[in-house]
Each structure stands twice: as structure tokens, then as C-alpha cells.
A and B are shown apart, each in its own frame.
Chain A
């Protein structure tokens, strides 16, 4: 058997996606592979304040990153969930927390008992049964404990961080492990005559870089996947009409929230992402319903603190690349598609793409079955996330603007309609085994968006009512007390900062000794 292993990987584009790919390939990819990453200092990265979901911790752990160091270097804060304000109707708010609601009893879901007793006025609000939600609203944070008997083991968290700093952090990591950064702009892509595979990319100044496998992290335009290979793009704008965003960083105002806030506005929604050193703000909107100037003004007016810099406009179309892996090119990040960051999934999709690529890593024969499987899994995942995002728009009572009326009245994909139908009937949630968002996530958003099941599961009647009533009555105050004993988010960060600084001093002293 001749050796057909991949000898070289070329990553086109730095930024978060590019450096995540570089770091993972350098750490986990086959040995003896040359990795080049091409990026240009002239092209700014889109990365602003970035919110993530818990699996990011797995990615960091696989790379072997020290979490405290990562939090310090990327100016990160902790995140226990997302608060949705004015989505269901004006003046309404709900939390999509990480972590579970209550505890199941006798193989029946907790929320079924809750539905039954809530209707009789015998239960607190659903969020009162979720420690992440309660702690978030109190501005408190700590990491979960390991002991499964402790309520504190039900905590689950992710981060808000500065995406440019994360990219820089991973760059240091990747370069230390042999990744070569090539400065420059790609001016041409050279395809092989026989099979149309990418043979090399050319940079300004006649530099030519060959590779066996190319990873396209060049952003929306998809330099390789679209401009060279014409993989095609499937738009989802009929369900996700927002097509622009205006981003403005602002000075930190007050304590950093341990959660992302998303506020629905007249023609879209506004994010607020607290970092250690500033706050990320931005308005995601439909250009058919509001002008760019008006959107920028609104975003400025709604910013938490004093603006730091000019508003920046970002254009996009929700959708996905028809082939995420085409010939010898794999598209990651925005090159693969765009879903608005309503559920903080952008970085996760990069991470998931990398892990699929490692699991299906090709050789120079590029067996088509590998790309077929990669694309099948990738399509499935992004459709599931798409449905979850559409749910927020579809299930609204708002009729105060043309935008929201259109959302409320739109037809949604069958897969989502089925989910909504089942929940509305009996409060049942059916998800695919490998689906990213848990049952608890679907529950939080379905109920939060005002979809109330007509009935609860008849099986909830098979458990002794007194017992359930007692459990419900005890659980909420117990969770509340546990949350009140947790440190505040800012104290927790300050303590972490002090110990990180302390550790640095020790290290440097060690180095000079």
C-alpha cells in the first residue's frame, strides 16, 4: 500500500475559525503534517464579543488549555444562559439557562409534574427550579462541584470572551506546535486540471502555497469553497429575515452579567455580551424593515455604557453552503454558512466541524464517501440549530411591527412544526439523540415563547400527588438558598484574576531564579 497520507494542510483565513482549526490540527491531527495558515493583517476579523455554549469547555480541554489562564487572556466572563427580553411580547422576559429543570420522577419528566401543579397554583415559576437561571438573575456564579449529591453539581456554564483575543491566544498555541503563519492576501486559487481539486493558493507577491487539504476559513465570501469551487449557497431568509447587524463595543457599565441578554426590537434583536474590559452590543435586523442609520442609532441608544468606537455594519444572508466539504476543501465558520448568534452557536459550529473532520480525516485519495458523511452530519446539525432559532421568531405574540407580524405568520420547516405540535399537545419534547440543544433548552424556549401545552402527560398522575406537591414546594426555596450562597460573578472573576496574577508572578520569579 503506497503512502497516501495527507502531507500538508493549508488554512485560508485566520480569525477565530482559522486559529481554532490550526490549534486542533496541530494538537490532534496526524503527526508529520505541515500546517500553513494564511492571514492578512489588512483584513479585519468579524469576531466581536462572542458568547458561547458549554461544549466550548470540551474543546479547550482537548487542547489542554488551562481554564483560568484562558479566562484571563481572553478577558472572558462566565455565562449561565441567555435572557430573552421582549421576545414573547413587550415587557416579557424569560431565561434559557444551561442545566436542568428540577429532577425527573418515576421516568416522567419534571416539567410534566410542574405543568400539572402549576395549573393549580401549586408550583413556582419554572425558572425557580433551575439553579443556573436563579443564580444568573441574582448575578452570581461559581463553577459546578463534582459531588453529584450536591445541588451545585447541576450548574453548567460557558463563556463570553473577546473573539480576537481568543484567536490570538490560539495562535500562540498553534505556532508553538509548528503551525506556520503566512502573512498575505490570497489573490488566486489554482485548480488541478483533471479533477478540479485545489492545487495551490497564490498570495500577492507571487508566493504560491501548495497543499493536500485546504480549510476555508475566509469568512462570508468563501474564497475557496464558493469563489473557486462554486459549492453553492442555500438561503434561509424566508425563515430568518434578518440580514444585517451593527456592532458597537461600549465601556463596561456596572457589574458584568453572568448571562447574555437578547432584547427583541422592532425589526430584529439586540445582543449584550459582557466582557471583563467592555461590553459587546449589536443590533441584528432586517434591512427591509429598518434603515441602516436608524438601526445604528437604536443600537447606540441602547448600549449599556459609553460607546468605544464607531458602529460597524455587517451584512449577511442566513443559510448554508450546499457542500461544506467539496473536493479537497472543507469550509469552517462563516465560509460554511451563517446563522445569527441568537443562541450563541457560531463558535460551536466551528468546533463541531473540526471534530467531524478529524473523525473523517481523508488521505490524498479523498474517498467521496467521507465528504458525503461529513456533509450529511453537518447538514443535520445546522438544520436542527436553524429550527431552534426560528422557534424564537415564530412563537411570538408581538404584532407591534410589520417585522414581527411577518414572523408570527410565516410557515416554518416541517421538522419544527412537528416539534411545536407535540409540545402544544402534551408538553412532550422529542429530540434526536445527537441534537445539540437538550430537552431542557427546548423546554425553556418553547414555554418562554408562550407555547403552553394543552394537557400534561397522563403518566404524571401515576405518582402520589402529595409527594409531588411536597417536592415542588421544597425544591424552589432550596435552589434559591443555594444560589444566594454563591459568590457574585464579579467577585468570582476578581478572585480568579488575583490568583492568575499570583501564579504569573510565581512563574516569572521561577524563570529568573
Chain B
């Protein structure tokens, strides 16, 4: 089967490397056709991306060596994301990668916190996470493999400058025999049945294929342009529609976390890496006259249509408020491989792919809406309006159940765990009216002791970690010694 990928950005190269690695030659061949122009395959959100810990699974699958990647691309490690200016309850809060606290028996940590708060104690989630504590100290080391160590309770992601990262993926794809076409794409060619038959190039030649991947960014040249998949807009809940990205060099050692700050008409994110920072300003054009590339939040109605699967921003334009761009790409590629069709016309597979992709994206949409809905920026028209908006039912149910009992109903497609939702709710000052009855069965002093002991073990362990700068320097030294 001849596979043709459109788009020479991160999404296209990742797809090329992944597919060429998994599908045996010579029965499958993979070609990549460029669109020309800047890489907007993950949306107009450069120039660096913060990747969730799941990126490491992608790299293992791709056979991409992490140390080598960090050295070549000047990437940094990440322990989570700091948020400021969003919540009235907490002027700044941190969403860490890894556990917050630890359960006592079967009772989750946030329920234990609820019991203590009901008794008048002050409990701050951030004090009970190794990732948060280490990030505050500017320290980093890879977690321990020993499950009995507190240093095994956190995880890490990466801050990746997109240009060098795309090159690393490209090298990998080319090494796996992906054929790159030099002349850019001009138009799609449809076959008799209305499916894609080939891509016409600027040279008037064509690249024919049986199965296509649309990695052409928000314009979705194949899925939308040629096949009219349809677009479902999320603008009613996510009104930001401008993105301005810029990068700058800095001698300051990178912090092991990104920072997302809310402003009058949107937010600004800083992603630090070795030798530089990427800055992104996302705003709403109706609320402020900010510069930037226009975009519209939403997703394709049918990411897999006929013999074409859209990935990256061609499938959905999702502002990177939760650092999900690369995670979504990884999930899409893994799903495509799980459902990889034996023949180009595969309606059962396409239906299943679309159902699960759309569920996942809709649940992510809910997660993105939440900080807007719960914002504490009173007196600013853009934010006041968002606070009163009606949210989709599944999110309304999540909020109601959390407020009632501190539980979060997880639905099919939820990418975030219950504890990650609880951390976000808590940061916005949402407090359950009652904590879990099971927390009541525990003596309160036992809970207090449990929390105090977690705190002291974590502080002690985090203080012994090297600084992020030293850790990066040491890895480089190790590399060059080897």
C-alpha cells in the first residue's frame, strides 16, 4: 500500500517516522509531500512546545534517544506548569507532572485534604508534590525506578524548540526509508469513487497513493479542502482566536517548568529551553487588538474521511493551554496504527477512529474551558463574560460532582486523571461541600500524621536533587565523554 503524507512539519515527520517504523516494506511505502511555508502542523503556536510526560513513550516507540535529542535540540526538562493571574483563590498555582500526596488505604489524597480542611486545617496541594517542590527549587533529576522511593512519584516532560525537534524527526524518517518529494503540493486529485487518488505538485507531476495523512495544519488541505470533512467550532466556549509566537535567546538557565499567565484578553506562555525561551501570546480579537495569526478553536467532524486521516492541527486546533499538542499527535498516530486498515476503504475502522478521536477531543475541550469558566478576574469584561457562560453538559456534571463530593466522573476519552482534575479544581478554590465518607472512618490524627510525614520526606528528597542547570550540564559532559 502506498502511503502519502502531506506536510513537512512536526506532525508530518512524526507520522512518517512512526508509520515507516511499524509497517513492513516493501508492502508499504511512505512518501512525504511538502506544503511549503512555515510549520503550522500543530497550529500557529510555536516556537517551542511544552510536552507532557507521555512524549517519552512516543520517543521510545520511535526509537528516538532522549539524551541525544536533548543535546541536539537544546531541549529542557519539565516538571509541570505554573499558572498565574487565573484564580482568585490562588494568585499562582502549579500543575505538576506526577502524584499529589498519597492515598491512605483506599482514600484518595484530595479526600483526606477535605477531611482536614473541614476540621479547620490549612492544606495546600502544592506542598505535597515532589515535582512542585523541585520546580520551586529549580532542581531536576530523572525519577527513580525504585517504587519504594518518593522520587518515583513524579514524572517529567520536555520543552522542545520546534525547529530542531522537527529536524530530529525528519532524520529518523529518512533513515527508515521515507521518500521525500522536493516539489511542493498544489492540489488534490480525486479518484472515481471520490476518494483521494494523488497529490499534484508544483512541477505538474503527481504523487499517487492509496492512503493519505493530512498533516497540513489548520487549513487541512486534504480533509477539508478536498474531502470537506466539516469543522465543529468551539468558539462559543473558547473565544481566543489570535496567536503570536516569538523566540529569544537568553543566557539564563532554563526553569524546569513553563509559565502561563492570564492577561486582560487571553494568556501568555513562556517555555524555557537551553539558551532561549519561546513565548506565545494567545488572545481574543474581539476583546483586544493584539497582533498574531488568526485561528479558530475546534475540530474536524470526521478526522478520518474516505482514505485520508487528518492529524495535528489539521484534525483539531487546540490552544496549548494544557500542553497537549504533542500528546494529541502521539495519540492519533497510536490510534491509527491500532486501527491500521488492510485496505484503503475501511469504514468500520474509520467509524471507530472518529468516534474515539472525537470523544477525546471533546473531553479535552472541557478541560480547556474549565480555567476560563472558573476564572477569578472580576471586573474585566472578557473574563466576566466567560465566568457566566453555560458549559457543555459533561463538564457541568464534573463540576457539580466535584463540588458535591470531591469526585470527578471520568468519561470515555478523558486524557486527564481524576487527581489531575482535582488539582485544577482545587487551584481555582472549588471546595467539595462534603468529603468522601470513607475519609471519615479514619482517625483525624492519623491523617495529619500521614500528611506531615509525606511533606517532610518530599522536602528532604527534593533538596538533594541537582539543579536543573547542573543536571543538563552533567548529561552533556556524560555525552561528550562517551
Q: Please list the residues of chain A having a beta carbon within 8 angstroms of any beta carbon in chain B.
A: 1, 4-6, 28-31, 107, 358-361, 363, 367, 369-370, 372-373, 376-377, 418, 421-422, 424-426, 428, 430, 432-433, 454-455, 457-459, 461-462
Determine whether the beta carbon of B342 is less than 8 Å from that of A455: yes
- Shortest beta-carbon distance, B63 to chain A, in Å? 12
Contact between chains at B404 and A370 (CB < 8 Å): yes
Stretch among B199-207, B310-318, B431-439 lining the A interface: B431-439
The total number of A-B Cβ pairs within 8 Å is 88
Tell me if A425 and B349 are in contact (CB < 8 A).
yes
Bound CA–CA A451/B437 (angstroms):
47
Q: In this assembly, does B390 line the interface, its C-beta being within 8 Å of a C-beta of chain A?
A: no
Knowing A367-B404, A425-B346, say if A373 contacts B409 (CB, 8 Å): yes
Sample of 13 A–B contacts (CB below 8 Å): A6-B437, A29-B437, A29-B441, A358-B437, A367-B405, A369-B401, A370-B401, A377-B409, A425-B342, A425-B346, A457-B340, A458-B23, A458-B341
- Which residues 202-226 of B sit at the A interface, judged by CB distance below 8 A? none
- Bound-state Cα–Cα, A31 to B437, Å: 9
Q: Please tell me if the beta carbons of B24 and A359 are within 8 angstroms of each other in the complex.
A: no
B409 touches A28 (CB 8 A): no
Residues of A contacting B22 in the complex (Cβ-Cβ under 8 angstroms)? 459, 462
Which A residues touch B405, using CB under 8 A? 360, 367, 370
Question: Are A1 and B23 within 8 A (Cβ)?
Answer: no
Query: What A residues does B341 contact at CB under 8 A?
Result: 426, 458
Question: When each residue 398-418 of chain B gets 1 if its CB lies under 8 Å from chain A and 0 otherwise, what string results?
Answer: 001100110101001000000
**B1's closest neighbor in chain A, by CB?**
A458
A418–B434 touching, CB < 8 Å: no
Contact status of A418 and B397, CB under 8 A, knowing A1-B118, A30-B440, A459-B337: no
Give B residues with C-beta under 8 Å from A: 22-24, 27-28, 61, 118, 337-342, 346, 348-349, 351-352, 356, 397, 400-401, 404-405, 407, 409, 412, 433-434, 436-438, 440-441
- Residues on A with C-beta less than 8 A from B28 are 458
- Which 4 pairs of residues, A with B, have the shortest CB-CB distance? A361-B437, A421-B348, A369-B400, A367-B404
* B342→A433 contact, CB < 8 A: no
Q: Which listed residue (A360, A422, A461) contacts B348, Cβ 8 A?
A: A422
Complex Cα distance, B346 from A376, in Å, reads: 32
Q: Tell me which of A359, A376, A461 contacts B407 (CB under 8 A).
A: A359
Give every chain B residue within 8 A of A6 (Cβ-Cβ).
437
Would you call B342 and A426 a contact (CB within 8 A)? Answer: yes
What is the bound-complex CA distance between A188 and B340, given in angstroms? 60
User: Given the complex of chains A and B, what is the CA–CA distance between A31 and B340 in angstroms?
Assistant: 53
Which residues of B are found within 8 Å of A422, using beta-carbon distances? Answer: 348-349, 352
> Which residue of A4, A107, A369, A377 is within 8 Å of B404 (Cβ)?
A369
Shortest C-beta distance, B467 to chain A (Å), equals 37
Q: Which of B340, B397, B436, B438 contacts A458 (CB 8 A)?
A: B340
Nearest to B439 among chain A residues (CB) is A30
Q: Is B401's CB under 8 angstroms from A433's CB?
A: no
Decide if B397 touches A461 in the complex (CB within 8 Å).
no
With A and B bound together, what is the CA distance between A478 and B61 in angstroms? 31
> Does A367 lie within 8 Å of B433, measured CB to CB?
yes
Q: In the complex, how many angstroms separate the beta carbon of B470 from the nearest chain A beta carbon?
A: 36
CB distance from B394 to the nearest CB of A (A): 10
Tell me whether A462 and B23 are in contact (CB under 8 A): yes
Contacts of A428 in B (CB 8 A): 338-339, 349, 352
B253 CB to closest chain A CB (Å) equals 37
From B24, B339, B407, A360 is in contact (CB under 8 Å) with B407
A130 to chain B, nearest CB (A): 23
C-alpha spacing A421/B409, complex, angstroms: 29
Interchain CA distance A457-B397 in the complex, whole Å? 38
- For A430, the chain B residues whose CB sits under 8 A away are 352, 356
**Given A359-B407, A376-B409, residue A461 in contact with residue B437 (CB < 8 A):** no
Residues of B within 8 A of A4 (CB): 434
CB-CB < 8 A to A418: which residues of B?
Answer: 348, 351-352
Give min CB distance, B61 to chain A, whole Å.
8
- With most chain B CB atoms within 10 A of its CB, the pick from A432, A433, A458, A459 is A458
Q: How far is the CB of A446 from chain B (nearest CB, A)?
A: 14
Contacts of B434 in A (CB 8 A): 4, 363
Find A461's partner among B24, B337, B339, B401 (CB 8 Å cutoff): B24
Which residue of A is nearest B434, CB measured? A363
Question: In the bound complex, what is the Cα–Cα distance between A455 and B27 (angstroms)?
Answer: 15
Q: Is the CB of A373 within 8 A of B407?
A: yes
Look across to chain A and name the residue whose beta carbon is closest to the beta carbon of B399: A369
CA distance A369 to B398 in the complex (A): 9
Q: Of all chain B residues, which has the CB nearest A434?
A: B410
Alpha-carbon distance between A457 and B341 when the two chains are bound, in angstroms: 8
Residues of A within 8 A of B337 (CB): 459
Among B338, B342, B436, contact of A359 (Cβ-Cβ < 8 Å):
B436
Closest A residue to B61 by beta carbon equals: A107
- Provide the bound-state CA to CA distance between A61 and B115, in Å: 26
Q: Is the CB of A361 within 8 A of B342?
A: no
B56 CB to nearest A CB, Å: 15
Residues of A with C-beta under 8 A to B118: 1
Q: Enumerate chain B residues within 8 angstroms of A361, measured Cβ to Cβ.
A: 436-438
**Docked CA distance A31–B439 (Å):** 10
List residues of chain A with CB within 8 A of the CB of B440. Answer: 5, 30-31
Give complex CA distance A16, B407 in Å: 29
Question: Whole-angstrom distance between the alpha carbons of A204 and B361 in the complex?
Answer: 57
How long is the Cα–Cα vector from A30 to B115 in the complex, in angstroms?
A: 13
Question: What's the least CB distance linking A370 to chain B, in Å?
Answer: 6
On chain B, the residues within 8 Å of A377 by CB distance are 409
- B407 pairs with A462, CB closer than 8 A: no
How far is A459 from B333 in the complex, measured between Cα atoms in Å? Answer: 13
Indicate if the CB atoms of B438 and A358 lie closer than 8 Å: yes
Please indicate the chain A residues that have their CB under 8 angstroms from the CB of B339 in the complex: 426, 428
Whether the Cβ atoms of B397 and A373 lie closer than 8 Å is yes
Bound-state CA distance A462–B20 (Å) is 10
* Inter-chain contact A372/B397, CB cutoff 8 Å: yes
Q: How far is the CB of B380 from chain A (nearest CB, A)?
A: 30
Query: Which one of A28, A418, A425, A457 has the greatest number of beta carbons of chain B within 10 Å?
Result: A425
Q: Are B412 and A432 in contact (CB under 8 A)?
A: yes
Q: Complex: how many Å from CA A361 to CA B440? A: 11
Report the bound CA distance from A461 to B351 in whole Å: 24
- In the complex, how many angstroms separate the beta carbon of A148 from the nearest chain B beta carbon? 14
| Minimum Cβ distance to chain B for residue A168 (Å) | 26
Distance in Å: Cβ of B363 to nearest Cβ of chain A: 13
Smallest Cβ distance from B440 to chain A, in angstroms? 5
A73 to B151, CA, bound (A): 45
- Complex CA distance for A425 and B339, rounded to whole angstroms: 10
A456 closest partner in B (C-beta):
B342
The minimal Cβ–Cβ distance linking A458 to chain B, given in whole angstroms, is 5
